[in-house]
Amino acid sequence: MEEVPLRRLRAEAEILPHSFYRRPTVEVARDLLGKVLVHGPAAAMIVEAEAYLGEDDLAAHAARGITERTRVIFGPPGHAYVYFIYGMYHCLNLVAEPEGRAGCVLIRAAQPLAGIPVMQQRRPAARKPEQLASGPGRLTLALGITRALNGADLARGPLTVWRWAREPTIRIKTTPRIGISKCADWQLRFVAAGNPFVSRYRETARALER
């Protein structure tokens, strides 16, 4: 897989402003496909995302209302919501909707672009490049994302999201969200159709409960 030098990537891209996220969560989730996550020396193009809505979405953390854990979801858009599960995995969400209205997008998979050797060091279990960030836990490991980034400003902080001038044309496939038991039939998972870097979910695998 050909690597894109981070310097060139930055020269050909611009950071998404807060206004990008200050929209309905489903719109944000769809439009995030093809955008580029950058953290330190690593960058990867988002190819799979799931929308989690407000308090009526029982699969969303926001269904519990405002708590110390969920406060960031109800806060200003364009910030990171990072949580820890099973004592071993972090999951990255990007906060959408106007402030005071809950909504976030779980980033499920990304295609590595820059800093691939660093990602391979962080993910030695990956047998091939397509496995480096093909799942929410794999993605955060590959990009070095932890709860230290919870609440980070995606337009100004150490973790940013970019609109790349070379963004490919993406055909979006819509499916139900996976790994959940509530509101499981809602069509809120968006995938770059045919992209080999999307996650490979097995029905027999332990569900990634939110």
So where are the chain's domains?
6-192
C-alpha to C-alpha distance for 132 and 192, rounded to whole angstroms: 17
- Look at residue 56 in the predicted model and tell me its pLDDT: 93
Residue whose structure tokens are 């609109």: 163
Could you count the other beta carbons within 10 Å of the beta carbon of residue 206?
8
- Look at residue 201 in the predicted model and tell me its pLDDT: 57
Q: Where are the alpha helices (DSSP H) in the chain?
A: 6-11, 18-21, 25-32, 116-122, 136-143
Q: Residue 77 corresponds to which amino acid?
A: P
Q: Would you state the structure tokens that stand for residue 91, as one six-digit string?
A: 């999951």
C-alpha to C-alpha distance for 134 and 19, rounded to whole angstroms: 28
C-alpha to C-alpha distance for 19 and 10, rounded to whole angstroms: 20
Q: Spell out the CATH class of 6-192.
A: alpha beta
- Look at residue 179 in the predicted model and tell me its pLDDT: 87
- Look at residue 89 in the predicted model and tell me its pLDDT: 87
DSSP string, 140-157: HHHHT--GGGTT-BTTTS
Alpha carbons within 13 angstroms on the beta-carbon side of residue 51 total: 26
Confidence (pTM):
0.93
User: In which residue ranges of the chain is pLDDT below 70?
Assistant: 1, 86, 201-210
Q: Quote the distance between the C-alpha of residue 42 and its chain's center.
A: 14
Classify residue 194 as exposed, middle or buried by CB count within 10 Å of its CB (0-12, 13-18, 19+): exposed
- Look at residue 1 in the predicted model and tell me its pLDDT: 60
List CB contacts of 108: < 8 A, sequence separation 6 or more: 48, 49, 50, 135, 136, 139, 189, 198, 199
- Look at residue 85 in the predicted model and tell me its pLDDT: 80
Q: Can you list the positions of beta strands (E) in 55-164?
A: 80-85, 89-95, 104-114, 159-164
Cβ(132)–Cβ(79) under 8 Å? no
